[in-house]
Amino acid sequence: MERYEQRAPERAHNKALIAEAGPGAADSPQRRDAFVNRVEGMKALRNIRTRRDLPFGIERRMGATLDFDEMAPNAAARKAGRSVARIVEQGGPGTEAQGFATGFLVAPDLLITNWHVFQGRGDARGCAAHFLYERSERGVERGVTFELEPSRFFVSDERLDFAILAVAPRSNEGSDLASMGQNTLVEAMPKILKGQPVHIIQHPEGRPKQYAISQNRLVDILEEGFLQYETDTLEGSSGSPAFSDRWELVALHHASIPQMRDGRALALDGTPWFKEMGDDRVHWIANEGVRISAIVSHLRSARLPDRSEQDILEDLLATTGDPVAEAMEIIQPQSLETLGNAIKRGGTMAGMTVTFTGPVTINVNVAGTPAADASTSSTSRTVAFAVERSIRFDPDYDLRKGYSPSFLDEEGEIVVPVPSVQPDRIEEMLKGEDGKPLVLKYHHFELMMNKPRRLQMWSAANVDYDPTRKTDKDREEWGRDRWIPDPRIPAICQVFDADFYKPAGNIDRGHIVRREDNEWGDDEREIEFANSDTFHWTNCTPQHEAFNQSTPGRNDKTYKGMEGVWGAFENHIQQSRRDGDTKACLLAGPILASDDPRKDFGRGEIQYPIRFWKVVCVVDRTAPKPELKAYGFILSQRAVVDRFGIERFGPGRFDKYQVSLSEIAKEAGLVFEDALLQADTLSGQLSVRLASPRDIAGL
């Protein structure tokens, strides 16, 4: 981020020159001359065929109005994209792997991605490279999956944000990795000029391969080893290859850059951005990639302690030279024009026999352009510099234990049973193979899904606020938030971003089981996976930001002075359990009423809930014998929805009511067991009363 801000005057000057005189006008005469010589060399050597396998695309002029597309725009793009893979976490049997980043082959069995994706060998264990997951004329191809082998080879650098690691030679399906091709790390410069397009092949959001090939100018070239460009990327694009318009590899994509003012990132509306808003509200203005020349320069100075890994590295470095420059050393002093004519005739020259097996582009490296010094500068670590490392999920769903009814009492004398569903609504529930309502178990919580509504009916969570079972890690240290489908149930039974959350405007992806509540455990691994499990779409419901966030005015001045009721309520629960007994059982869910409003944003009609319920269960240890206490609440966003609609919410006040559990059961279509009904502090009361913060704080 500091790199981008410091060069604002140079970048503005570059854009003005490019607008007036076209691409290259902002480069030095020496760089332009070197680039022209390189291009002329390519033209002279175009379509030659050689025994050597040169991993470059066919030179072809790209159209100015090509769209971002899942289909490769031409043969060169298709060839360059073949070695690009979706990086996935491998799930257990019967589950679908989840994609979270991108990578590509740079040698027959080596893949490159970002350091922030794999900071160490351990981060890559259990992960794989999923190739050919892309759209074809037949539809989306399933692709082939090769396991990563970080124990065999792994080298990385934090400043240049790259990691290179080994890949298994054969896929889980029996395919040969050699058939995937590669994009070699050629150190030669210059390959691109300011103002020219930067094409990126990526797996955004873990989806099938996509080609970003429009509105993609290169805006700056930094000597410390980075390129900055306007090419579009999405979450999951970390580790994507960036190409010139001739499909030469020029950079490793690694980060996005927001609009800044007074050292603060700005939101889309021009106001200061806060992390609670989410990354999709940032005003992104550029992306940044690491120059291939800088990566190669760093690798040349690397010394690995393991001899076998050093040998692999040296083999990799042996492929980074410019093949045209090598050819020019052989054929000097004969001219490129003479060589071109000889090639057209298919003959020999200076005793060198030239045979060809396919169309390639060979690049001429012009002397006098030194490699960038990879030892200068440093990467900004501010939150606004948005590297795309995402949270990790436990791939083994069979090991999730779910919710424990006896969590509050180790002796088992006090239990908090989960609710069941009223008989007249049992047909709405998503069912398992046994025909019974399916219970989806996660770390520390479980839930049931309402199939036609595509939202949960209820959830039950065990919560422990004991500081010794929490972590000192900041939320960002787990990686950026990433919502994923539960692979155990059909996608059609879950509501996704594009279905509702994004087109609805100021709608939050509202957790029912709160991330902070579930982020606890006996070790870092348990805490991390418990944190991640709350980001399944099954745990998400549409909630207005002024309802979901405890202090929405911090992010939007429209809500200045407002208290987001759902968020504030969750905070009160947490604060009440800080001292003494830190445990609680939380039962919660949306009230899925038949008269809930409906909206279709083009992907099918969805009914969204207006009211939400929560039951807080704790043990009162002040009595002669420990006694279970249950507090039930219904929280409504009716006033705001009625007044402002869902596509643009405004400020408003929500009423907060404490109600009896019998009232919640009636409204939500549930049945609570007698143990809970007897523990209800409003047992037998159907009338409601306003619940003050004092009520909640006293839980």
Tokens representing 279 are 């990354």
Going from the C-alpha of 169 to that of each of 84, 99, 629, the distances in angstroms are 16, 20, 59
**Is the confidence at residue 205, as pLDDT, over 60?**
yes
Q: What would the mean pLDDT of 502-523 be, rounded to a whole number?
A: 86
Main-chain phi, psi angles of 565, to 5 degrees:
-65, -45
* Window from 159-173, 247-261, 340-354, 364-378 with minimum mean pLDDT: 364-378
- 589 versus 348: which is more confidently predicted? 589
**Three-class secondary structure of residue 523 per DSSP:** coil
Q: 697 falls in which pLDDT band (50, 70, 90)?
A: very low
Would you tell me how many other CB atoms lie within 10 Å of the CB of residue 125?
14
- Any idea which residue has 């155990």 for tokens? 488
Mean pLDDT over residues 256-279, rounded?
79
Higher pLDDT, 235 or 100: 100
Please check the confidence at residue 587 and state whether its pLDDT lies above 90. Answer: yes
pLDDT grade for 654, boundaries at 50, 70 and 90 = very low
Above 50 in pLDDT, residue 352?
no
Kindly tell me the sign of the dihedral angle through the C-alpha atoms of 324, 328, 331, 336.
positive
548 or 126, greater pLDDT: 126
Q: Which of 683, 664, 669, 567 is nearest to 613 (CA)?
A: 664
Quote the pLDDT of residue 90.
Answer: 82
Radius of gyration of the chain (CA): 29
| pLDDT value for 565 | 65
Res. 364: pLDDT tops 50: no
CA distance 531 to 21: 52
State the Cα angle at 494 between 488 and 500, rounded to 5°. Answer: 155
- The two tokens of residue 408 are 């509050």
Question: For position 237, what pLDDT does the model report?
Answer: 84
If one compares 424 and 42, the residue with the highest pLDDT of the two is 424
Q: What is the average pLDDT across 352-373?
A: 35
The model carries a pTM of 0.51
pLDDT digits (tens, 9 = 90+) for 303-317: 999 999 999 999 999
Please determine, for residue 483, whether its predicted confidence score (pLDDT) is greater than 80.
yes
User: How far apart, in whole angstroms, are the C-alpha atoms of residue 441 and residue 533?
Assistant: 10
The token pair at 402 is 């779910």
Counting residues of the chain whose pLDDT is more than 70, the rounded percentage is 70
Q: What percent of the chain has pLDDT over 90?
A: 37
Distance, in Å, from the CA atom of 629 to the CA atom of 676, rounded to the nearest integer, reads: 8
Judged against a pLDDT cut of 60, whether residue 481 lies above it is answered with yes
Which residues, listed in sequence order, are joined to residue 131 by a DSSP beta bridge? 85, 144
Beta-carbon neighbour count of residue 139 at 10 Å? Answer: 8
Mean pLDDT of 449-467: 95
pLDDT higher than threshold 80 for residue 683:
no
pLDDT band at 106 (very low <50, low <70, confident <90, very high): very high
pLDDT band, very low/low/confident/very high, at 265 (cuts 50, 70, 90): confident
For residue 324, what pLDDT band results from cuts at 50, 70 and 90?
low
SS3 (DSSP) at 476: helix
pLDDT of residue 54: 26
110, HSE (Cβ side, Cα atoms, 13 Å): 23
Residue 475 has pLDDT above 70, yes or no: yes
Closest Cα to residue 257, out of 67, 11, 84?
11
Distance CA 129, CA 426 (A): 42
User: Is the pLDDT assigned to residue 57 strictly greater than 90?
Assistant: no
Selected residue with higher pLDDT from 146 and 98: 146
Residue 288 has pLDDT above 50, yes or no: yes
What is the per-residue pLDDT for 386? 42
- Model pLDDT, residue 575: 73
What is the model's pLDDT at position 219?
85
Please state, in angstroms and rounded to a whole number, the distance separating the CA atoms of residues 500 and 496.
Answer: 7
With 90 as the cut, is the pLDDT of residue 355 above it?
no
Question: How does residue 264 score in pLDDT terms, banded at 50, 70 and 90?
Answer: confident
Lowest-confidence pick of 32-41, 123-132, 342-351, 487-496: 342-351
Q: 622 vs 112, which has greater pLDDT?
A: 112
Please give the mean pLDDT across all residues of the chain.
Answer: 77
Closest CA to 80 of 228, 244, 325: 244
pLDDT surpasses 80 at 185:
yes
pLDDT at position 308, please? 93
Closest to 455 in 3D by CA, of 465, 447, 463: 447
Q: What's the pLDDT at 217?
A: 83
Mean pLDDT to the nearest integer, 330-351: 45
pLDDT of residue 3: 56
Highest mean pLDDT among 270-279, 406-415, 526-535: 526-535
Q: Average of pLDDT values for 115-137?
A: 92
The lowest-confidence range among 181-190, 349-358, 524-533 is 349-358
- What's the whole-number mean pLDDT along residues 472-481? 81
Provide CB contacts within 8 A for 118, sequence distance 6+: 124, 127, 150, 154, 156, 163, 165
pLDDT (0 to 100) of residue 93: 67
pLDDT grade for 389, boundaries at 50, 70 and 90: low
Query: Please, are residues 290 and 162 in contact by the beta-carbon 8 Å criterion?
Result: yes
| The pLDDT value given to residue 21 | 57
In contact, 463 and 370? CB cutoff 8 Å: no
